[in-house]
Structure 1
């Protein structure tokens, strides 16, 4: 896939599959969920995606993980960043906040791949003088024409010069990735709501409701290429697993993640994950506040809301 010296993409180069994989930041082709996109209005785009019937990580039992919605949105926003907003591919994207509300009835796995439609409206795009861009977006998500989710996000892109200055000694992704701490023992998979040891991102500690972040950098979904810091999707997965261990059961589903990304989480330092009950929401749904702290500073918080799992009708 060709880019020029400014990081702009040659849209005529490469196959459609290569182009889509590049734009959504996935190197494993089968993990790219986006099929197409189109302009609806000046600030609104329609993006289509497809979920497989079987997936070794995002299909759990007879349901999709709610975080597959967030991953689909992440890929769609990355694609629009580099196409509609013409932000060079060498800019680095990072989330500031994400709130995603999912209808659990729409997470049941069917007999055919699920067609996903996203209507994305950017409510703000602010371009800074030195090249950074701050964006905010609202997203409505349909599955096979029925309501699936809504989301609101704020995120930022930085050109290489600014990003490298922000990241300092961690700016080189391959070097930072190689400095990851040795893999630690897993929590029992059933305790954190996953099927396999490889998918566990938490290690128990002697303190109740506290874990260390467990980073298997060989995981083909969470780490399909080197990163200079722990990705937001990994932290969200940790929040979901911690909430499950703290309060949830097999018969409940996480339906909302209300998240703030405050600092980068590094690979070469321990990161503590804690989960504490929060007040129920206005509909009486259970909530858990999950925090991630590194070097004594909070880097991430997510309030996870759950409700009983209901099969889609």
Structure 2
């Protein structure tokens, strides 16, 4: 039996340590959300502190990674799921589909921390017998009146009993985290748009367009606490880096549009392979790639990613409709 309900709730907890449990971050410095307010029962505004620099999401040359906005959205949805939609803190959240489109202002270096906003509208909140909840959210983000990007996210939350049945022997985060394969030697940082080898999440295999995912669980941003499976943000970073490598000889690119289906949990104890293939360019002639992740012979995620030259003014997309 399903029912569609959306609840109002009191204001958010104070920023800082009190938000750790809401946004699934252990380090206070990694918490980007600051507050939220109601617009309607279906729509809330989440306030963010958009950093002018970040140890991971600031790229060589000072530009901002397009995935900073995705991380802001992840935190914003986690916060609202618990505070607005009455989902208990011990439920496990997982994305099933994510389409994010980032505009040029989201990539621009800024002189200091800036307040940004996410306008989040949940068009579906379906509660299943047993406690699982299926949600669909549409997001529009702005900073100082400038458009940062849009997103559509479909995600599910499961109560502990159902999650344990789904994950079986992998449900214990500490054990799964401890079974992570040692990271393979990284790709050359400059090839994938990075300076630090420790920030590289793909490894060469000797075969063109074919990479191995690196799971360096000591990375303080990507793995700031134990996980029972490889986080989606790591997979999207692998997509971004594989796209950079694909166009390396033509110069740096901005992967600005990610259209991703997450089809299975991605485990730490088996290799993950990342394969890249060309797709038909978009209507403006911008390059598109299909990036597929496989593990143990099965697809675990697939992304259609659209890229623009990093040095071309206005190359990032217009405001999405």
Offset at residue 46 of structure 1 (A): 0.2
Per the alignment, residue 291 of structure 1 pairs with: 292
Per the alignment, residue 57 of structure 1 pairs with: 56
CA distance in 2: counterparts of 1:238 and 1:55, whole angstroms: 18
Per the alignment, residue 109 of structure 2 pairs with: 109
TM-score, normalised by the number of residues in structure 2: 0.91
Change (3 A) 1:70 1:13: closer
CA distance in 1: counterparts of 2:295 and 2:106, whole angstroms: 36
CA distance in 2: counterparts of 1:114 and 1:276, whole angstroms: 37
* 1:209/1:276 contact within 8 Å kept: yes
* 1:104/1:253 contact within 8 Å kept: no
Per the alignment, residue 140 of structure 1 pairs with: 140
User: Partner of 2:16: helix, strand, or coil?
Assistant: helix
User: Partner of 1:162: helix, strand, or coil?
Assistant: helix
Change (3 A) 1:129 1:279: same
* 1:81/1:87 contact within 8 Å kept: yes
Per the alignment, residue 18 of structure 2 pairs with: 19
Backbone CA RMSD of aligned residues: 1.7
* 2:105/2:147 contact within 8 Å kept: no
Q: Which moved more, 1:213-222 or 1:245-254?
A: 245-254
User: Partner of 1:154: helix, strand, or coil?
Assistant: strand
TM-score, normalised by the number of residues in structure 1: 0.93
CA distance in 2: counterparts of 1:120 and 1:184, whole angstroms: 38
Task: Return structure 1 stretches of 4+ with deviation > 2 angstroms.
Answer: 11-16, 247-252, 308-312
Per the alignment, residue 319 of structure 2 pairs with: none
Per the alignment, residue 122 of structure 1 pairs with: 122
CA distance in 2: counterparts of 1:53 and 1:35, whole angstroms: 16
Per the alignment, residue 81 of structure 1 pairs with: 81
Offset at residue 263 of structure 1 (A): 0.4
Instruction: Give unmatched runs, 5+ long, in structure 2.
Output: 1-9, 315-321
Per the alignment, residue 256 of structure 2 pairs with: 255
Instruction: Give unmatched runs, 5+ long, in structure 1.
Output: 1-10
Residue 268 in structure 1 maps to residue 272 in structure 2: no
Per the alignment, residue 177 of structure 2 pairs with: 177
CA distance in 1: counterparts of 2:216 and 2:264, whole angstroms: 21
* 2:291/2:304 contact within 8 Å kept: yes
CA distance in 1: counterparts of 2:251 and 2:130, whole angstroms: 49
